[in-house]
Amino acid sequence: MKKYLLKYSADAAKKPILSEAILKTGVLVNILTADVEYSTEHLVITVSGDAKAEKKILDYLKGGGVDVEVLEGNIVKDKDRCVDCCACYGVCPTKAIQIKDWRMELDGDECILCKACVEACPTRALKLKG
């Protein structure tokens, strides 16, 4: 399932553009993460439906001033650097990181690319694969 990063312009942030897009296109989205602050608004979403539905809602959002970016890649583990301390496990909001047989495992489908695990890793064994 593709993940999209939505970056709102100052003008787009003043309107309920995502709600309008869902209502007018009939395409459902799932908000995985939201970073809403005074000067920025970023959402990571997935879109329900086929490629036609994705195009429909993404075009609507782009027309409303939202910058849409496909998030590609995953978090990858450098097995030589990882000491399986599991510092990453505690910060993962989606539980994409699991501990199995005393080793850290990452489920790329569940990962929302928030990079919390990358920042928490004391050995810098995790990085975003582009």
Number of domains in the chain: 2
Tell me, what CATH number does 107's domain have?
3.30.70.20
Q: Are residues 9 and 67 in the same domain?
A: yes
Q: Are residues 99 and 61 in the same domain?
A: no
Q: φ and ψ at 120, to 5 degrees?
A: -80, -20
Q: Are residues 20 and 63 in the same domain?
A: yes
In angstroms, the CA 110 to CA 100 distance is: 16
| pTM for this predicted structure | 0.69
Q: Are residues 16 and 53 in the same domain?
A: yes
Q: What average pLDDT does this structure show over 89-112?
A: 87
Q: What confidence tier does 44 reach under pLDDT thresholds 50, 70, 90?
A: confident
Q: What average pLDDT does this structure show over 71-100?
A: 88
pLDDT at 39: 66
Q: What confidence tier does 9 reach under pLDDT thresholds 50, 70, 90?
A: confident
- Which residue range is the domain that position 52 belongs to? 3-71
In angstroms, the CA 11 to CA 55 distance is: 22
Tell me, what CATH number does 47's domain have?
3.30.70.260
Place of tokens 């990452």: 106
**Bigger pLDDT: 11 vs 89:** 89
